[in-house]
Amino acid sequence: MISMMSVLDPPFLELEYYVGRAELETTVHRLVDGLQPGLVPSILVIPNAVGLIPKPEELVIRGGVVILRTEGEAFCGPFRDDRMRLKKLGRRVYQRFVEVADAIPCVYGAILVEYSLEEPKKLRQDPQSLAFYDFFLSRERLENKAVEEAIRLAGDEAYVESRATGVYISMSAEFNPKGRSIPLLEAQERSVQISAVIGRAAR
């Protein structure tokens, strides 16, 4: 069942993908079966958008960004202390994130709990993004030089995985299968540096 009314409670966990406005319809129709041609709603309530909770989740459009949204309480505050549950849910989020990145014309994307994914213009104007802890970069829609620079900035401690159309980079233990992580303050600094690289490369 598809609805256009929000059903989720915050805090949210979001899989966000910048595809650009020209690719919105293609992207949404790849992710949701049965939509009328030409229809790109700003919000859809659909089953298994992320696949993290039993009730329906959401697909949201913000500018040129496509967002798959679910409830993210397990990744916040004291709920993070349940390490086994965090690991189990985190692996499911990671798997869904890279699966979608492989299937859509994504330029870049990220797994986000507290932050939003900025579009290229915003990254160029103010490259201070904290969105790039666990993220995907397309080798098809970004210059390889920029992708390799982002990998270098993430550092040897980060998890790096080649995918069908790009690369997934993770600095959070729960969002990669090797459990690799980088301390928060260092990850924030690296995210800011990476955001500047992406802002220059993406259009």
Residues 76-87: tens digit of each pLDDT: 887 788 889 999
What whole-number distance in Å separates Cα of residue 68 and Cα of residue 84?
24
- Per-residue pLDDT at 1: 45
**Confidence at 5, pLDDT banded by 50, 70, 90:** low
Q: What is the pTM of this model?
A: 0.95
> Residue 181 is inside which H or E element, if any?
none
CA 134/CA 130 separation, integer angstroms: 10
State the DSSP code for 179.
Answer: -
pLDDT at residue number 39: 84
Residue 4 has pLDDT above 70, yes or no: no
Model confidence over 141-180: pLDDT tens digits? Answer: 999 999 999 999 999 999 999 999 999 999 999 999 999 9
Q: What is the mean pLDDT of residues 73-99?
A: 91
Residue with tokens 């080798």: 139
Q: In this predicted model, what pLDDT tens digit does every residue of 118-137 receive, in sequence order?
A: 999 999 999 999 999 999 99
* Helix or strand run (H / E) with residue 68: strand 65-71
Mean pLDDT computed over every residue of the chain: 94
Domain chopping of the chain, boundaries: 12-201
